[in-house]
């Protein structure tokens, strides 16, 4: 089980993590939360209907990581628009879509990261020994979303655009300053892959 998720009887998943691994995942989840930004303040009126129709931003984020986490809905970076008019139309549709969906997307990603932090905090101090983290089916889905977001965020910082870029990561020298980030990216990918397997029927 070390380093890989395994299914639990009745649903959910479990993985053995040591203190360093717990610290890394928790730190990354906290950084992701800070990047996504805070949710509604406690003083905000608890009106679900108003919150449902609250408008979000219409422009893409300036930060490349946030652009990876919240991409435009109506544009394909690998395909150029047929005409300038088509490009303008794509931007208008993307802005409208973003305005009514990004707040919900941010809330979902925020909840996923919070679920990771809470479940790790419940483990207490693991010391140097491995501790088994057991997740319910719902917690597993939150973890899967958070692991995906963490890999997207790290991939954006590493400027990974396709599989060829990923292959290059394996050939980096140990002296390359990107090496720790690459190791985290690959490790989280392994965790994500095994967690997907546990959730498949």
pLDDT digits (tens, 9 = 90+) for 167-192: 777 788 888 888 899 999 999 999 99
Asked if the model's pLDDT at residue 99 lies above 90, the reply is no
Number of compact structural domains in the chain? 1
190 located within any domain: yes
Query: Of the spans 16-25, 68-77, 119-128, which averages the highest pLDDT?
Result: 16-25
pTM: 0.80
Cβ contact 159:183 at 8 Å: no
| pLDDT at 199 > cutoff 60 | yes
Q: How far apart are CA 113 and CA 27, in angstroms?
A: 11
Mean predicted confidence (pLDDT) in 58-78? 75
Helices (H), 40-178: 48-52, 64-69, 84-121, 137-157, 163-169
Residue 102: inside a domain, yes or no?
Answer: yes
**Measured distance CA(1)–CA(56) in Å, rounded:** 42
Whether 191 maps to a domain, the answer reads: yes
- Mean pLDDT for 114-120 is 96
Q: For residue 83, is it within any domain?
A: no
Handedness of CA 92, 80, 73, 38 (dihedral sign): negative
Q: How confident is the model at residue 42 (pLDDT cuts 50, 70, 90)?
A: very low
**Are 117 and 22 contacting, i.e. CB atoms less than 8 angstroms apart?**
no
Residue 186 covered by a domain: yes
Q: 16 in a domain, yes or no?
A: yes
Q: Is residue 44 part of a domain?
A: no
Question: Which domain covers residue 15, as residue numbers?
Answer: 6-39+49-78+89-199
Residue 36: which pLDDT band, with cuts at 50, 70 and 90?
very high
Instruction: Report the chain's C-alpha Rg in angstroms.
Output: 19
Contact 188, 147 (CB under 8 A): yes
pLDDT, mean over the chain: 82
């Amino acid at each position: 089980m070390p380093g890989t998720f395994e299914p639990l009887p009745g649903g959910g998943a479990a993985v053995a993590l040591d203190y360093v691994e717990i610290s890394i995942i928790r730190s990354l989840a906290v950084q992701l939360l800070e990047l996504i930004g805070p949710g509604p303040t406690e003083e905000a009126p608890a009106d679900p209907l108003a919150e449902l129709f609250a408008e979000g931003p219409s422009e893409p984020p300036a930060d490349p990581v946030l652009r990876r986490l919240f991409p435009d809905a109506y544009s394909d970076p690998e395909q150029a628009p047929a005409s300038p008019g088509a490009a303008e139309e794509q931007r208008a549709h993307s802005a409208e879509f973003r305005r009514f969906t990004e707040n919900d997307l941010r809330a979902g990603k925020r909840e996923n990261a919070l679920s990771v932090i809470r479940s790790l905090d419940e483990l207490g101090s693991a010391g140097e020994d491995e501790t088994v983290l057991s997740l319910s089916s719902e917690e597993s889905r939150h973890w899967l979303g958070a692991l995906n977001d963490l890999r997207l965020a790290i991939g954006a910082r590493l400027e990974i655009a396709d599989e060829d870029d990923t292959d290059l990561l394996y050939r980096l020298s140990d002296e390359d300053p990107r090496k720790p980030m690459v190791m985290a990216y690959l490790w989280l990918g392994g965790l994500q892959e095994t967690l997907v397997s546990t959730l498949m029927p």
